[in-house]
Amino acid sequence: MCRTLFFLAAIAAIAERSAFAADADPYTEDRKQLLHLMTEVENGINDQNIDRMLAQMDDNAPVTWLNAEVTRGKADIRAYYHHMVGGEGAVLKKYLTKAKLGAPAKVYGDAAVADGTTADEFFPWKRGVFKFNSNWSGIMARVDGQWKLLSLHLSTNVFNNPLLDEYKKMLWSIGMGAFGAGLVLMFLIMRFAQRDKPA
């Protein structure tokens, strides 16, 4: 009985300490706002609503995109987005993403840093759909009482990704096709050579 009471008291103490630690975080409300910011950026991309994304960004925010292009400021971001996503003149019909936090954001007063991963799905006009698993990092700051995205960086593995795998398969197919064509050509040349020999 004493052991049971001791065990229950220990559990209660741990639970109380955990609750106190959660309450002791001075940035709990900030973390909620930061999560909302990142969710709005994700939803803006998935809804193809660039204004929804830009509403969460600082006016001069730089963005490094997956194709290594860099935009600086909202006008630049908007121009890039319309060049890449949209009508037939664009590269993509649409672009979908699902973002995850790698760890809770690090908050430093009125600034914060966060990073994580994304599962991206691209729908080009001129080829089939392809997917990437990418990484992201962002710097946020409180601007006029609201958290804004100051900088966003997106990256993927340039040495191992679905497009490279597809390219390797294409090279393999071309190589095998060329090898087969060479064998056929050699066979035909030998047949014609034997036919032209004097009896």
- Residue 74's contacts (CB-CB under 8 Å, 6 or more residues apart) are 54, 57, 59, 61
pLDDT of residue 88: 74
Domain-wise residue ranges, the chain = 27-156, 159-199
Q: Does the pLDDT value for residue 95 go beyond 70?
A: yes
Sign of CA dihedral 42, 81, 118, 121: positive
Q: What is the pLDDT of residues 169-192, one digit of tens each?
A: 544 345 555 545 565 556 566 666
Confidence of residue 96 (pLDDT cuts 50, 70, 90): very high
Sign of CA dihedral 37, 41, 43, 49: positive
With left for phi above 0 and alpha for psi between -120 and 50, is residue 145 left, alpha or beta?
A: left
Q: Under DSSP, is residue 91 helix (H, G, I), strand (E, B) or coil? A: coil
Q: Per mean pLDDT, which range of 39-48, 129-138, 142-151 is the poorest?
A: 129-138
State which amino acid sits at residue 142: R
Which residue in 152, 37, 155, 48 sits closest to 96, CA to CA? Answer: 48
pLDDT of residue 167: 42
Summarize the confidence of residues 92-108 as an average pLDDT: 93
Q: Does the pLDDT value for residue 162 go beyond 70?
A: no
Summarize the confidence of residues 149-164 as an average pLDDT: 74
Domain 27-156 adopts which CATH fold? Nuclear Transport Factor 2; Chain: A, (3.10.450)
pLDDT of residue 12: 46
Query: By the 8 A CB rule, do 140 and 33 touch?
Result: no
pLDDT of residue 193: 66
pLDDT of residue 198: 59
Q: Does the pLDDT value for residue 124 go beyond 70?
A: yes
Confidence of residue 140 (pLDDT cuts 50, 70, 90): very high
Element (H, E) at 2: helix 2-24
Q: What is the pLDDT of residues 30-66, one digit of tens each?
A: 999 999 999 999 999 999 999 999 999 999 999 999 8
More confident site: 132 or 164: 132
